[in-house]
Amino acid sequence: MRPRTDAAAQIALCASAAYFWRMTIRPILLHPDPRLKKVCEPVAEVTPEIHALAADMLDTMYDAPGVGLAAPQVGVLKRLFVMDCVKEEGAAPRPMVLINPEITWTSDEAATYEEGCLSIPEQYADVKRPERVRMRWMDLDGATQEEEFDGLWATCAQHELDHLNGKLFIDHLGPIKRQMITRRMVKLKRERARAG
Ligand code: K2U
Ligand code: ZN
């Protein structure tokens, strides 16, 4: 094989770098979808595929835009989610990847937040959850992390963990409101399917 010229080597290097740095937005499943009701499987090993999935989930979350996204929402029934609840203008983002997350403590105090969901677009309802939670998870380096969350971080982390257990925020509502939102989503999906 002829040795590559410097220019050709540079082009190949840029192409491979672009491959690793490309943005990949994955489609987000919409409720009702049976995959959103499944209990997800633990991640056995942090492989390059899990790294790529986490990167795609962060790209997809920021593009939505959202402050969290769980793997089942992009059709991968594994126990990992991403979140970045930094809302202050000009503050540095804090993208987090939580693999096999568990709640280790919840506060007695509760907080109510008007929740939405990227899998249930334009539908919002008040959900009451523990105000603060401690979570333990594995990070992308395979290291165990533990942290206490409050505010939007606590709400989001609990919302995403629900997704890993096949639970949506509407499952915290009464049956009438849940059915009303589900009927709206069935209509929306039918209209989107017609529009193609
Ligand atoms: O899981 C998802 O669908 C992502 C949600 C996470 C979330 C829901 C309710 C409360 C906090 C987080 C999306 O980020 S929904 C869009 C959103 C954006 C800002 C604040 C709240 C919700
Ligand atoms: Zn959601």
Write the pLDDT tens digit of every residue in 89-110. Answer: 999 999 999 999 999 999 999 9
pLDDT over 90 percentage in the chain: 86
pLDDT at 19 over 60: no
Contact between 107 and 115 (Cβ < 8 Å): no
Ion ligand 2: residue ranges with CB closer than 5 A: 117
pLDDT at 66 over 60: yes
Nearby residues of 41 by Cβ (< 8 Å), 6 or more positions away: 77, 78, 79
What is the whole-number distance in angstroms between the Cα of residue 75 and the centre of ligand 1? 18
Q: Say how many Å lie between the CA of residue 1 and the centre of ligand 1.
A: 53
Shortest-distance ligand to the CA of residue 158: 1
All domains of the chain in start order, with CATH: 7-195 (3.90.45.10)
pLDDT of the residue at 8: 65
Q: Please name the residue whose Cα sits nearest to atom 22 of ligand 1.
A: 116
Q: How far is CA 153 from CA 65, 137, 162, 178, in A?
A: 16, 15, 14, 24
Q: 84 CB less than 6 Å from ligand 1?
A: no
pTM above 0.85, yes or no: yes
Query: In the predicted model, what is the mean pLDDT of the chain?
Result: 93
pLDDT digits (tens, 9 = 90+) for 112-152: 999 999 999 999 999 999 999 999 999 999 999 999 999 99
Candidate from 29, 67, 167 with most ligand 1 atoms within 8 A of CB, to mutate: 67
